[in-house]
C-alpha cells in the first residue's frame, strides 16, 4: 500500500499541551484545514474520536474550514451538548439547518471525512462524513453554495 502525505496528531486532556502558539490569549486544540494557496480542492482524512470526549454548551471546534479573507471559520465540525454538528458560521443555522447527530453515534469508530471546497463568492463547500467500516451511508453531510449574504 502506497501512502503519501500521512500525518498523525495527538490531542491531550491536559489543557496546557498540544496548543497552537499564536493563540496565547485563547489556546486551542483542533484540526484546521487550509487548501494550499486558497486553491480549490478536495481533502480526505480519517479520524477517530474517543467516547471519553466531554462536551459542554460552548462550541468546541473539532475541525474547521477557514476563510482566507478574514481568517474566520466558514464551516466547522463541533462537539456541543453531547452532539456532533456541522455548523456554518456565515449563515444562520436556524434558517438553513445545520445537521447533527448524537455524540455516541460518532465516537469510538473511524470516520472518513470528505471536504470539497471551491473558493470564491460563488464558491461552495461540500462536507460528508462516513463510517470507515460502512461507507454506504453518510453519518453527516452538508453542502452550501454562494456567499450566504
For 67-148, strand residue ranges (E) read 73-80, 83-88, 100-102, 110-118, 124-131, 134-145
Give the count of beta carbons closer than 10 Å to the beta carbon of residue 39: 9
Q: For the residues 13-30, what does the mean pLDDT come to? A: 56
pLDDT for position 15: 58
Is the predicted pLDDT of residue 149 greater than 60, yes or no? Answer: no
Strands ordered across the beta sheet of 83-88: 31-33, 61-66, 73-80, 83-88, 100-102
Q: Using one digit for the tens of pLDDT, what is the confidence trace for 106-145?
A: 999 999 999 998 877 788 889 999 999 988 889 999 998 8
Look up the pTM and report it: 0.75
Amino acid at each position: 500500500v502506497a501512502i503519501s502525505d500521512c500525518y498523525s496528531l495527538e490531542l491531550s486532556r491536559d489543557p496546557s499541551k498540544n496548543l497552537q502558539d499564536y493563540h496565547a490569549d485563547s489556546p486551542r486544540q483542533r484540526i484546521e484545514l487550509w487548501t494550499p494557496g486558497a486553491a480549490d480542492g478536495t481533502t480526505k482524512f480519517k479520524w477517530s474520536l474517543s467516547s471519553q470526549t466531554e462536551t459542554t454548551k460552548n462550541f468546541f471546534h473539532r475541525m474547521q474550514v477557514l476563510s482566507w479573507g478574514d481568517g474566520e471559520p466558514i464551516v466547522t465540525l463541533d462537539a456541543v451538548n453531547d452532539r456532533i454538528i456541522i455548523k456554518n458560521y456565515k449563515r444562520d443555522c436556524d434558517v438553513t439547518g445545520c445537521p447533527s447527530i448524537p455524540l455516541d453515534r460518532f465516537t469510538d469508530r473511524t470516520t472518513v471525512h470528505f471536504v470539497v471546497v471551491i473558493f470564491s463568492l460563488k464558491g461552495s463547500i461540500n462536507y460528508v462524513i462516513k463510517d470507515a467500516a460502512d461507507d454506504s451511508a453518510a453519518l453527516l453531510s452538508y453542502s452550501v453554495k454562494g456567499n450566504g449574504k
